[in-house]
Amino acid sequence: MLQGMFKKTLKAKSNEKVKDSIQKSQIPNGLFKKCPSCDQIVYAEDIISNYYSCPNCDNYFRIGAKTRINMVADKGSFKEWDNNLETKDPLSFPGYQKKLANFKSATHIDEAIITGECLIREQAVAIGVMESEFLMGSMGSIVGEKITRLIEKATELKLPVVIFCCSGGARMQEGIFSLMQMAKTSQALKRHSEEGNLYISILTDPTTGGVTASFAMLGDVILAEPGALIGFAGPRVIEQTIKQKLPKDFQTSEFLLEHGFIDRIVKRNQMRKTISFLIRSSK
């Protein structure tokens, strides 16, 4: 049951390994897990009860979208929207359809985001949660469409929008059509904002590329989980470009807080409380 739920997080890996860690689950199935950050053997149940973080060193494990929704939404309140959109293949990119089909049948996850509505401490919100397992959480046309519909419907219903970002960036296999999703989602947020609605963006590990350069950075309030990788260009690309090693905390949540680009770093056990406070204060 726990297989595939856990990932190494930033503390445990050097920046250049980000991509590898997204692709492979690090922890074998079983009752006990080895924390990739502190190397301690810990009881799996303790990880779960500790908001999917290591009880020994607080290292955060990556979590799937459904787990995340269960963690923040009032019990049983989540209703999914737009879960039936077929992924497009506008470039007829070799192998893309097959890759999607294999992934979908293996995981029963149908795209890199789940959207819908739920209650958070009895407040109604439109919520989107990205799924890092699905092609690195990349934003293709359907991810862009689901986010845009989420925001447009929230504008219509006068609901706050909460998006948990988690993405390697734009989806290469859909080419320029992926790029256009940056404009499409951003303009929907502009309209949502013009109507006086609240948007909370929450950055989780990793948030990079075209997602960072669009809806991730447009929150009225931008929160981040501790130790998340957040940036526009990926660390490996920057290192190759400038031919030097990057500083240790570069592109972490803490780095962004220090440089003035996020409002707060919020631990998982405080997330519900924080979102609820922000919604109550922004009506």
Contacts of 105 (CB under 8 A, 6+ apart): none
| Both tokens assigned to 75 | 């019990």
Which residues, numbered 150-169, are part of the site for other proteins (CB under 8 A)? none
- The C-alpha atoms of residue 237 and residue 172 are separated, in whole angstroms, by 15
Give dist(CA 31, CA 44) in Å, integer: 6
210 binds other proteins, rule: CB under 8 A? yes
Minimal distance, residue 263 CB to other proteins, in Å: 12
Minimum CB distance to other proteins, residue 196 (Å): 15
Shorter beta-carbon distance to other proteins: residue 196 or 247: 247
Stretch that binds other proteins, among 33-41, 156-164, 173-181, 273-281 (CB under 8 A): 173-181
Q: Which of residues 22-61 bind other proteins (CB under 8 A)?
A: none
What is the DSSP-derived secondary structure letter of residue 230?
A: B
Determine the size of the site formed for other proteins (CB under 8 A): 49
Other CB atoms within 10 A of residue 175 CB = 14
Segment lying near other proteins (by CB under 8 A), choices 5-13, 31-39, 59-67, 182-190: 182-190
* Residue 94 makes contact with other proteins by CB under 8 A: yes
Nearest 5°: the CA angle 153, 155, 157 is 70
Q: CA-CA-CA-CA torsion for 134, 139, 141, 142, nearest 10 degrees?
A: 40
The answer to whether residue 134 forms part of the interface with other proteins (CB under 8 A) is: no
> Residue length, the chain?
283
Residues that bind other proteins (CB under 8 A): 90-91, 93-94, 141, 148, 170, 172-173, 175-184, 186-191, 194, 209-210, 212-218, 231-233, 237-238, 241-242, 246-247, 250-251, 259-261
